[in-house]
């Protein structure tokens, strides 16, 4: 019996294909798909396409691991369509936040990566499974999901404000979480996708 792929599998495949396209050496195409600041080459489609590009294999692998780790159980709870909605809402809100930050900072650098979507999935996981235990890799400390997500968001905020880890779009990560938060709140308000 043939089963259709899950939303998480499709998203991982699409990200892998985007990375293979980058490896093909099409710099012009990649330049058109990355998210450029409003004052430096922005095009509307970039609010989606940037999320399927990655800086290197480690960047891709970390994002896809996070998507797989937190997205599978969410998809079992919410369904395939809801995961696509959640992911793309988070990607859009992350991109919007990044455009705002680059406008305020006069940055001229493009943004790439699925992190905004992944952070949205992470936030939703913490909201739907707040007591689920997550064990950190370094150091290996078990934390309930709600605390893990809250601490992670706090670290992202501190890093963003202080400019720690230059080249990482910390505010885009937070933007992805904000988009997911409002999506989950909307679903709960309409009695949809409840635990």
Domain locations along the chain: 7-189
Q: ω into residue 128 within 30 of 0, thus cis?
A: no
Higher pLDDT, 27 or 41: 41
**Confidence category of residue 194, pLDDT binned at 50, 70, 90:** very low
For residue 94, CA distances in Å to 20, 66, 91, 101, 112 come to 23, 16, 5, 11, 11
- 1 pLDDT higher than 80: no
State pLDDT tens for residues 32-51.
Answer: 999 999 988 899 999 999 99
What element of type H or E holds 10? Answer: helix 7-23
Which ranges constitute the DSSP H helices of 24-144?
27-33, 46-49, 57-78, 80-105, 115-128
**Confidence category of residue 191, pLDDT binned at 50, 70, 90:** low
| 7-189: CATH superfamily | Rhomboid-like (1.20.1540.10)
């Amino acid at each position: 019996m043939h089963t259709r792929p899950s939303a998480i599998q499709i998203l991982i495949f699409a990200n892998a294909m985007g990375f293979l396209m980058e490896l093909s050496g099409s710099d012009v195409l990649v330049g058109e798909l990355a998210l450029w600041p409003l004052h430096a080459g922005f095009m509307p489609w970039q609010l989606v396409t940037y999320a399927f590009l990655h800086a290197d294999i480690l960047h891709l692998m970390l994002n896809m691991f996070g998507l797989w780790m937190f997205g599978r159980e969410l998809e079992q709870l919410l369904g395939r369509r809801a995961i696509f909605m959640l992911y793309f809402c988070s990607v859009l809100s992350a991109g919007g936040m990044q455009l705002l930050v680059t406008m305020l900072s006069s940055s001229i650098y493009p943004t790439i990566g699925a992190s905004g979507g992944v952070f949205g999935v992470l936030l939703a996981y913490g909201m739907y499974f707040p007591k689920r235990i997550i064990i950190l890799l370094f150091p290996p400390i078990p934390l309930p999901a709600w605390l893990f997500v809250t601490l992670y968001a706090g670290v992202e905020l501190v890093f963003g404000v202080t400019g720690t880890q230059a080249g990482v779009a910390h505010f885009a990560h937070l933007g992805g979480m904000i988009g997911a938060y409002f999506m989950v709140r909307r679903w709960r308000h309409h009695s949809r996708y409840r635990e």
